[in-house]
Amino acid sequence: MQPETLSTSDSVKMLAIVEQWEKISGCHTDNTEKYLLLLLFKLGLDAMVFYLCCRKLHTSFLNMCSMSIILAEVLAVFCITAVWFLGVERSLVSTCFFLAHTSATFGAVPLPMICLGLFDYCIEGTSIGKQSTFSKVLRNVVLTLLVWMLAVIYSLSPVKAKLIELDYATGIKAVVCEVEESTLVPYFNLGLFTTIIFTMLPFWSRISQWVKEADRISELREEQENQRSDLFISTPSTETKSGKENCLEESIRPRPPLWFSLTLGFTTIWMPYLVVSVICLALDYGVPSYISVNLLWLECTNSLLGGVVFWVKSKSLGPYSHLPENVCLWHVYWHLSKGTWQQQLPTGVFNPSKRKRNSLLYV
């Protein structure tokens, strides 16, 4: 696909090449198959991200949104497969109709997902958020369906799913279609990337040391969790445990402030994704909405919102622990800042019914 940006007053449009001909050779190319492969690749990538990041759907609204994006991509793959298999003559909709409406629909969901996701995090731990699992699932399902329903309704009015013929001076004739490019996602990532870089500069010389210490705290607490998972838990060697803690305490001076420590925890996970997004934006490489609105962006946003709420509430509540599971180790970086990584283990506990938790996410 070779998109070409268009100047419009309301949104950023791109040109998706549906078909093209070479006048001299008479060679005809239908790009429907390429769009299908592109959607399949995105579906596979998002499925992998979903498996790694979304372990409990009922825990948050954004986790439910992740599932909805997967289902929307499955539906998109099915529709484009039907268009490709049936052909233009027998298909109920054209490739242009599908691409235009799909890009408009995906482009409309990021902002309401961010707003509702932040609201969901803010009410967590309050009387409104203390609901049964069934009530949380029902609430998240209803809100997710509402977001997608409004996005579909929005995509019906401004979209012009009409084929446009272009004749190039090189002797190539193309049939193109206007698709929408999401401006929120790339500029959201750019703003986040820029903010992180400027906040890192004053602490640049100490970052590697703090990251190493965070890894050591995580390993220490993982060892403790492994001991908790045994049927009989014995007290670890006092000398070994105190030696590790003293080593940590001696090497962590000075400690990072809490806000920067949590920023560091976010950066170690999501900086590669932000770098790729900023490079694409700098090179003016346009990406349609149905590609840029993906689970990498949504889970990055999920981590950002969760980290902000964790930081605000942990000021008064200590290592705030009522947030849903996340790939970022907020508790580890909270202890990195406060220096309170010691954890007393019970002795002689027999609890065969307790399942081992994910050591990367449990503190």
Question: What confidence tens digit (pLDDT) does each residue in 27-56 have?
Answer: 877 788 889 999 999 999 999 999 888 766
pLDDT tens, 306-315?
899 888 887 6
CA distance linking residue 248 with residue 335, whole number of Å:
11
Q: Using an 8 Å Cβ cutoff, are 259 and 311 in contact?
A: yes
Q: Are 336 and 216 in contact (CB under 8 A)?
A: no
Asked if 38 contacts 2 with a C-beta cutoff of 8 angstroms, the reply is no
Mean pLDDT, residues 204-213: 90
Name the burial class of residue 290, with classes exposed (0-12), middle (13-18) and buried (19+) by CB atoms within 10 angstroms of its CB: buried
The model's pTM: 0.81
Distance from C-alpha of 116 to C-alpha of 139, rounded to nearest angstrom: 11
Contacts of 114 (CB under 8 A, 6+ apart): 301, 305
The pLDDT assigned to 346 comes to 37
pLDDT above 90 coverage of the chain, percent: 32
Across 94-114, b (16+ Cβ under 10 Å) vs e yields bbbbbbbbbbbbbbbbbebbb
Distance in angstroms (rounded) separating the CA atoms of residues 216 and 250: 13
pLDDT for 334:
87
Distance (Å, whole) CA 103 – CA 38: 14
Give tens-digit pLDDT for 160-188. Answer: 777 888 777 667 788 888 888 888 999 99
In the DSSP assignment, the letter for residue 205 is G
